[in-house]
Structure 1
Amino acid sequence: MLSELERDALAELGNIGIGKASTALGRMLGGLVTLSVPSVEMVPPADVAGLLDRALPPPLVGVSEQLGGLFAGCALLVFPQQGSLALARAALPADVPADEVPALEDEVLAELGNVVLNSALALVANLLGEPVDTGLPALFRGAAADILQACAPARAVIAAGTDGGAAVLFHIDLRTALPGGDGVVVGGRVVLLLDSGSAGALQATLGRYIGRVVA
């Protein structure tokens, strides 16, 4: 479990990382994108599905990436399917016909998730002075338990959760203001499912980061 100081430090790092992701998404969408991190919590991996289902209206969309280095395990961007089509529409060029958007939706959302996760994790890892490796994005739909079961790295962490693994959940709000006047608001979670070694290493690394900041 994180101390209050460690939780505050992780929230601060999350805000900085998500801020970088906002800039990257803004370039991709061609307009202003605001991503915020109002809260962060660390919980047992087995609790993740229930927390996501209570926080977000199903069905859900999950974009996952396998992680190595500091964050060994899995990263997920999870948000309600209800706003996914509008988000994909915002990311596509204006000349793409509306009836073609559904066929492109999964590919576009996977790339959006890839931008958010890679941008945020790379900056956080750099601030902590530790390496992080990310794999290719994969997209899943359904209830939270379905998404976690379909994502092999997440399933492995949850299965081994009794051995000391941990899940870090960042609550995020995404808002867009595009040149055409269209706005999209999506609430979701960025989830880091960490194996037991990475959970302990993250806490130790946070301690060193706090020491540098307050020195």
Structure 2
Amino acid sequence: MTATPMLSELERDALAELGNIGIGKASTALGRMLGGLVTLSVPSVEMVPPDEVAGLLDRALAPPLVGVSERLGGLFAGYALLVFPQAGSLPLVRAALPPDVPADDVPALEDEVLAELGNVVLNSALALVANLLGEPVDTGLPVVVRGSGAEVLRGCAVVADAGGTASGGAAVLFHIDLHTSLPGGHGGVGGGGAAAGVGVAGRVVLLLDSGSAGKLQATLGRYIGRLVT
């Protein structure tokens, strides 16, 4: 069994900076999609064993959760997930839909909108980070899953299909905060009217197989080397 790689402080700082740059690109793409200002921030990043992810998600975000998952290839071989509390997903979906969509129709459109939102965020961020690291990344189609942290992981086929990911890989968690201020918005997660916009905390999770976890750490080392020379 291969141990999860441990990031040095310099590697963690570099990964957090890359995450900020990638999420900044995703903010722009999401803002174009929603037609308003979107702010996504990355307060911190950590690398943990994959079997700790479900508990960390439950403690940080409070189930039930909603996750958008994409299978990854290339530098990030494994899965990428965008995870929010389910309580914050419906206001975000309403903000993404035209204001003339009847409220009764919103739940039926929720999965479709969340899949597109997750696809925009994950693909925009990962493509830019991979480009900065000089490594390719491929993404699959988005899948929307709900439940506890463990149920989200199982629903995304991470546990059943991970194989080496569970035994010798690593999980990279980017702690993110999302806020939108949209014309004609539907108010925040806790209410507050249109001016409040939509605010929700979440996680971007990269679940990497053992080969990709080590490759990511080596690639980070080369990226840091380029910055300091």
TM bin, normalised by shorter chain, reads over 0.9
Note closer, same or farther for the CA distance 1:48–1:39 as it changes in structure 2 (3 Å cut).
Answer: same
| Deviation (angstroms), 1:213 | 0.6
| Deviation (angstroms), 1:136 | 0.2
| Deviation (angstroms), 1:161 | 2.6
Kept after mapping to 1: 8 A contact 2:159/2:166: no
Distance, in Å, in 2 between the alignment partners of 1:154 and 1:19 is 30
User: What residue in structure 1 maps to residue 129 of structure 2?
Assistant: 124
Kept after mapping to 1: 8 A contact 2:80/2:205: yes
| Deviation (angstroms), 1:158 | 6.7
Note closer, same or farther for the CA distance 1:143–1:201 as it changes in structure 2 (3 Å cut).
Answer: same
Instruction: Provide the secondary structure at the position in 1 that maps to 2:141.
Output: coil
Counterpart mapping for 1:91-170 below 5 A: 91-153=96-158, 155-157=160-162, 160-162=165-167, 164-170=168-174
User: What residue in structure 1 maps to residue 179 of structure 2?
Assistant: 175
Root-mean-square deviation (CA), in Å? 1.2
Is 2:220 the partner of 1:206?
yes
Distance, in Å, in 2 between the alignment partners of 1:104 and 1:154 is 28
Distance, in Å, in 2 between the alignment partners of 1:209 and 1:160 is 24
Kept after mapping to 1: 8 A contact 2:164/2:209: no
Distance, in Å, in 1 between the alignment partners of 2:66 and 2:85 is 6
Note closer, same or farther for the CA distance 1:136–1:184 as it changes in structure 2 (3 Å cut).
Answer: same
User: What residue in structure 2 maps to residue 196 of structure 1?
Assistant: 210
Is 2:47 the partner of 1:42?
yes
TM-score (norm. length: structure 2): 0.91
Instruction: Provide the secondary structure at the position in 1 that maps to 2:7.
Output: coil
Kept after mapping to 2: 8 A contact 1:45/1:193: yes
Distance, in Å, in 1 between the alignment partners of 2:163 and 2:54 is 10
Kept after mapping to 1: 8 A contact 2:77/2:209: yes
- Aligned residue pairs, count: 214
Q: Name the amino acid aligned to 2:179.
A: R
User: What residue in structure 2 maps to residue 77 of structure 1?
Assistant: 82
TM-score (norm. length: structure 1): 0.97
Structure 2: which 5+ residue stretches go unaligned? 1-5, 186-193
Distance, in Å, in 2 between the alignment partners of 1:158 and 1:113 is 25
Q: Name the amino acid aligned to 1:59.
A: P
Distance, in Å, in 2 between the alignment partners of 1:167 and 1:129 is 21
Q: Name the amino acid aligned to 2:81.
A: L
Distance, in Å, in 2 between the alignment partners of 1:197 and 1:62 is 25
Note closer, same or farther for the CA distance 1:51–1:159 as it changes in structure 2 (3 Å cut).
Answer: farther
User: What residue in structure 1 maps to residue 13 of structure 2?
Assistant: 8
Kept after mapping to 2: 8 A contact 1:154/1:193: no
**Identical residues among aligned pairs (%):** 83
